[in-house]
Amino acid sequence: MEDINTKNDSLIISILDVGDGDSIIVQLPEIDSFEHMIIDCKKSSTTKDWLNKLEAERLALVVATHPHYDHIAGLKSVMSVFQGKIDHFWDSGFRHNSVTWFNLAEYITDIDTKIQFIRPTSGLYTTFNDVTVTVLAPSIALRNRYDSYGVNINNASIVLKLEYAGKSVILAGDAQWDSWGKMTEEFPQYIKTENPDQHVQIDTSHKPLKCNVLKVAHHGSKHGIALEPVEVLNPNYAIIPCDESSSYGFPHEITMMSLEEIGTKVFVTGKSGNILIEIESGGSLNVYQKVNVISKNKFQGVKC
């Protein structure tokens, strides 16, 4: 273990080890003050403890990628700690009948009513403290089918791309093949032409889905990613949040093979513990495993 001293102007993303589920905390670069974002929360106690040690005072954004229990179970409890101090809440718009989801929706609409409640679709982008956040999914084509043609709840997931200082991280929720198909269609990749016989020439490459770090969809399920989109994303690092002895057999072998095929370094939280991603203002990318938070800018862990 080594001491990790992060900088005030770094983007810090913590992917917590909560078994088969997602709990992600984003510490934005300090502009006027430190602000934080939560992307899903399975275990409120783990997330609240982490935020407390970070000295978090308000939440710029809370995202429920989709209403499955292993992504939203702890959100209401965490949000209640920050009542009146949450700016935005994003939800996929997929209606769910669980008590957990009903209680969360009731809290936002009836109790903390100052929260700006948005149901984003692909193409929306905004900035938080110089961090660009782009919504890659759900596609409006899938959103329009929620109530009619049976879109899988996982394919309703909000997928986010966070960009800062020339580096990027994609947080993929539980997106599955239908969703990835729409993402690759709506954010097409163009490669600089190398064939002189091709009639239409492309002068520069455009890779909107390329990322440095990927939070793998659906805990490494064989339905969460395939080789073709992995080749388009081409991440240097992939983080899979799942239990070391997952009852679902996560991560599935085909997912690991797809990532390893392109040389991606893969870390499973059940084995590697909490993962911390730091993007410095100068563009340096640091990834750590087995991380413990000590205070706002101090952690302990092992560099990957």
Q: Which CB contacts under 8 angstroms, 24+ apart, belong to 119-122?
A: 119/90, 119/91, 119/92, 119/93, 120/90, 120/158, 122/182, 122/183, 122/186, 122/187
Q: How many residues belong to the chain?
A: 304
**What average pLDDT does the segment 139-151 reach?**
76
CB neighbour list of residue 90: distance below 8 Å, 6 or more residues apart: 61, 62, 63, 64, 118, 119, 120, 158
Q: Which tens digits make up the pLDDT trace of 65-88?
A: 999 999 999 999 999 999 999 999
CB neighbour list of residue 266: distance below 8 Å, 6 or more residues apart: 237, 238, 240, 251, 256, 259, 260
Taking Cα atoms as reference points, which of 288, 290, 303, 300 lies closest to residue 13?
A: 288
Taking Cα atoms as reference points, which of 128, 149, 218 lies closest to residue 180?
A: 218
The vertex-45 CA angle with 51 and 298, nearest 5°, equals 35
Instruction: Name the CATH topology of 2-303.
Output: Metallo-beta-lactamase; Chain A (3.60.15)
Q: Which tens digits make up the pLDDT trace of 167-216?
A: 999 999 999 989 999 999 999 988 776 777 776 666 667 899 999 999 99
Question: Residue 129's pLDDT is what?
Answer: 95
Question: Residue 200's pLDDT is what?
Answer: 65
Question: What distances in angstroms separate CA 162 from CA 129, 144, 277, one per listed residue?
Answer: 12, 25, 12
Question: Residue 197's pLDDT is what?
Answer: 75
> What is the rounded end-to-end Cα distance, in angstroms, of the chain?
12
